[in-house]
């Protein structure tokens, strides 16, 4: 192994970005290594320093078991997790793992700013022999063509001579307590054979599911970006089927149940496609394809169709209200659920907002109730005031109820079919006999 690469047991790790991806990874590594968790959000660092995680990805008890509350104590320990927003605390680290968001702008173009800013921060403290690993979802080429030049510029060091990089795509599924970070097989890669071996070996120490070493960084980047693109396209297909079957007066859920009796039928279901991955990643692949002169048809068609589903749901609800001779303008409609998926507080890129906005276009008074969403976060990100989650709303006071997110709480509620109310089930968890329609 190249002498610039230190023994695995000497790793002093920094995790840049302490969100849904970074925190679970940092906690896992902190069981065996000293881990400095860096985030630019003061409130996030303060929260973690108290042993609390509002994302609910890590149980407070587990977080507190690895947490080191002072820099002085951290410097004397061989393991543990120290959260900070001070750039100076990164100087002693020799492995930097970047887990920052990779969003798109309003035109669906990739925004690499968080990754480039993280690279700048690392570059200022980068030393000979250090290793930088990127986990954020990107299109092929970003690590070596966009991030490495920033590292070189800020550090004055030479890539693959003085420092090394790798790419190991995150695969965390927010809210999933079964497929946690250690239980998901990890794809790894490195900028040289020695770096690839080092990075693969490092992850093997904490990933019980094992690792898969890709042949290059670009292969690892491409593998990640197609994972979610594949899901997006499959969901787009069943969403289109839902629209077709609705016009044919056929229940889509019953069709899928029947088709699912074949052993190789893929069990995708129609729905809203949001979140920080599936609704975003296809645009990254499309961007790179267009840069090299290819216009992707299936990928972008799938995105367009999935992005249309919120408006489709709102339109169907209004149609059913009109069929029941219910007033539309200035009526009251309740949306149950606002997070991008069930039993999870994550509201990033939730497409429930599309239903909300379309209903508002018809001058409908829309209430949103979600027992998982943080009201302040929803108000800040979407300018929507959600109802008090401690008090169940009076369902009988609404002209229409839209079950948008399948939170477990909603499965226990009693919702009755009525001539004076429309019940629309986006997720297909309510009985067919009590809903007017479902996606």
Contact present, 334 and 367 (Cβ < 8 Å): yes
Specify if 266 maps to a domain.
yes
Specify if 301 maps to a domain.
yes
Specify if 257 maps to a domain.
yes
Specify if 398 maps to a domain.
yes
Express each pLDDT in 358-397 by its tens digit: 999 999 999 999 999 999 999 999 999 999 999 999 999 9
Whether residues 176 and 68 share a domain: the answer is yes
Express each pLDDT in 280-314 by its tens digit: 899 999 999 999 999 999 999 999 999 999 999 99
Rounded Cα distance between 107 and 103, Å, is 11
Rounded Cα distance between 409 and 357, Å, is 25
Pick from 215, 244, 274: which residue ends a domain? 215
Specify if 400 maps to a domain.
yes
Specify if 136 maps to a domain.
yes
Position 4 pLDDT exceeds 80: no
Specify if 2 maps to a domain.
no
Residue 225: pLDDT band (50, 70, 90) is: very high
Rounded Cα distance between 222 and 387, Å, is 41
Rounded Cα distance between 274 and 339, Å, is 9
Contact present, 279 and 349 (Cβ < 8 Å): yes
Q: Residue 417's closest CA among 397, 405, 403, 431?
A: 431
Whether residues 179 and 251 share a domain: the answer is no
Q: Residue 36's closest CA among 17, 14, 58, 62?
A: 14
Give me the chain's average pLDDT, please. 94
Which H helix or E strand runs over 252? helix 252-259
Whether residues 165 and 308 share a domain: the answer is no
Specify if 1 maps to a domain.
no
CA distance readout (Å), 282 to 85, 87, 221, 222, 263: 32, 33, 13, 11, 28
The pair of three-digit structure tokens given for residue 214, joined into one six-digit string: 């890709």
The domain spanning residue 154 has which CATH number?
3.40.50.720
Whether residues 33 and 127 share a domain: the answer is yes
Angle at 219 between CA 217 and CA 225, to 5 degrees: 105
Express each pLDDT in 33-72 by its tens digit: 999 999 999 999 999 999 999 999 999 999 999 999 999 9
Pick from 164, 191, 215: which residue ends a domain? 215
How many structural domains compose the chain? 2
Contact present, 314 and 349 (Cβ < 8 Å): no
Tokens 């200035």 locate to: 330
pLDDT of residue 74: 93
- Catalytic-residue membership of 344: no
Please give the residue range of the domain that contains residue 378.
230-438
Whether residues 210 and 342 share a domain: the answer is no
Whether residues 331 and 398 share a domain: the answer is yes
Q: Looking at 80-222, which runs of residues are DSSP E strands?
A: 80-84, 95-98, 131-134, 164-167, 186-188, 211-213
Reported pTM:
0.92
Which of 85, 93, 147, 277 is catalytic? The answer is 277
């Amino acid at each position: 192994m190249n002498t610039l690469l230190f023994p695995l047991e000497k790793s002093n790790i920094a995790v840049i970005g302490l969100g849904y991806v970074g925190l679970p990874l940092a906690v896992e590594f902190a069981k065996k290594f000293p881990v400095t968790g860096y985030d630019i959000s003061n409130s996030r660092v303060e929260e973690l320093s108290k042993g609390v995680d509002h994302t609910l990805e890590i149980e407070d008890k587990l977080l507190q078991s690895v947490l080191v509350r002072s820099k002085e104590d951290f410097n004397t320990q061989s393991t543990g997790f120290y959260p900070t927003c001070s750039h100076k605390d990164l100087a002693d680290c020799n492995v930097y793992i970047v887990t920052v968001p990779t969003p798109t702008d309003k035109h669906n173009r990739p925004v690499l700013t968080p990754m480039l800013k993280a690279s700048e921060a690392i570059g200022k403290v980068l030393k000979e022999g250090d290793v930088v690993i990127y986990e954020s979802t990107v299109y092929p080429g970003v690590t070596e063509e966009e991030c490495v030049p920033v590292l070189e510029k800020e550090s004055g060091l030479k890539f693959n001579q003085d420092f090394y990089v790798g790419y190991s795509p995150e695969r965390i599924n927010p809210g999933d307590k079964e497929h946690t970070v250690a239980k998901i097989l990890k794809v790894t890669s490195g900028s040289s054979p020695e770096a690839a071996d080092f990075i693969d070996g490092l992850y093997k120490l904490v990933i019980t599911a094992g690792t898969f070493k890709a042949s290059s960084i670009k292969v690892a980047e491409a593998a990640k970006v197609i994972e979610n693109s594949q899901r997006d396209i499959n969901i787009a297909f069943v969403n289109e089927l839902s629209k077709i079957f609705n016009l044919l007066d056929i229940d889509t859920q019953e069709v899928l149940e029947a088709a699912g009796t074949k052993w190789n039928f893929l069990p995708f279901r129609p729905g809203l496609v949001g979140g920080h991955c599936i609704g975003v990643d296809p645009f990254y692949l499309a961007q790179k394809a267009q840069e090299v002169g290819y216009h992707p048809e299936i990928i972008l068609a799938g995105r367009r169709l999935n992005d249309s589903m919120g408006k489709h749901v709102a339109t169907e609800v209004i149609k059913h209200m009109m069929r029941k001779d219910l007033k539309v303008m200035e009526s009251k409609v309740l949306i149950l659920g606002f997070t991008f998926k069930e039993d999870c507080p994550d509201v990033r890129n939730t497409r429930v907002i599309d239903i909300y906005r379309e209903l508002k276009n018809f001058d409908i008074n829309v209430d949103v109730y979600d027992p998982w969403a943080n009201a302040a976060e929803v108000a800040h990100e979407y300018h929507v005031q959600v109802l008090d989650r401690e008090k169940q709303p009076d369902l009988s006071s609404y002209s229409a109820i839209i079950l948008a997110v399948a939170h477990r709480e909603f499965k226990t509620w009693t919702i009755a079919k009525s001539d004076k109310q429309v019940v629309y089930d986006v997720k297909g968890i309510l009985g067919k006999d009590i809903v007017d329609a479902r996606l």
